[in-house]
Amino acid sequence: MNQIIVPTQPDTAIAIVPSARARRFILEAEAPSTRRAYMTDINTFTTWCTARGVSSLPAAPETVANFIADSAEQGLRPSTIGRRVAAIRYLHRLADEETPTRSELVSKTLKGIRREMGGAPDRKAAATADIVERMIDTCDDSLKGLRDRAILALGFAGAFRRSELVALRVEDLSRTDDGYRVLIRKSKTDQEGQGQTIAIPRGNRLRPGPAIEAWMAAAGIESGPLFRRVRRGGKVGAQPLRPAAVAEIVKERCLLINEDPAQFSGHSLRSGFLTSAARAGATIFKMRDVSRHKSLETLNAYVRDADLFRNHAGSAFL
């Protein structure tokens, strides 16, 4: 049976596995962001167990139930607690140990936490087409302004997740008469990297096509990462932006148009496209062509939100 030693660094979670190659493949089974979150949660769990003199691996169902109950008492959101449970399950599966999270005790405790605290996610505002247009209008023709304009326009037009947007390379874009075909090499719903291609129209209003071209021409980018840091003095770096930079750009531009930055995030571009598409009457299948959602139910939530007041059952008599 393999032993697992939990460290402080996310990519060194497995101390003993059959081989270095197996270790790499096991780590690659989860997205880097998921691994980082899991390792943080696992370290928190092991520290908690050590302080109480109980085993974290294997952990008893009672230990996990007490841990998540304590997490709830600390005020953590149900979604965060649910992720901690998933991290504990991940740890035990890697060690080939019986998974305590399958216990009725743990599931009932988690269910009770969700019932008492509520499980609704803290949703950020959608940056709809009109908001994105105003944000784009704040972008000047400096290198930073051109880059931010391209990020906002393309991020919105492709309903990109922020990690997907900063991972784009020039080689992933194929120009056509109508716009661009963009290859997304790997994403949250395509962890095996089979690749998905979406269409980005040149556009008449937000004009993502011209925005991309203006940025590339000004920055002198012909290959490699599409979106990069602009240093002081107007020097463009060679490395891609961090995913967090997308959220920072969105918040910065929101502030300039008198929108509350705290209400928006990097995901606001993605949700904004889907909200705008639903309001414009796009079919759920056409929306999925862009967003690449696996679950139609998730997409249908955007349609329901957009249609809340349309043909309302009480509009004739209220």
Q: Kindly list the catalytic residues.
A: 161, 188, 267, 270, 293, 302
Q: Which pair of tokens denotes residue 58?
A: 């294997």
Residue 254's CB is within 10 A of a number of other CB atoms, namely: 22
- 74: CB partners within 8 A, 6+ apart: none
DSSP string covering 109-131: HHHHHHHHH-----PPPP--HHH
Cα–Cα distance measured from residue 61 to residue 79, given in angstroms and rounded to the nearest whole number: 20
- 98-124 burial, b at 16+ Cβ within 10 Å, e below that, comes to ebbbebeebeebbeebbeeeeeeeeeb
E strands within the chain? 173-175, 179-184, 196-201, 228-230, 236-240
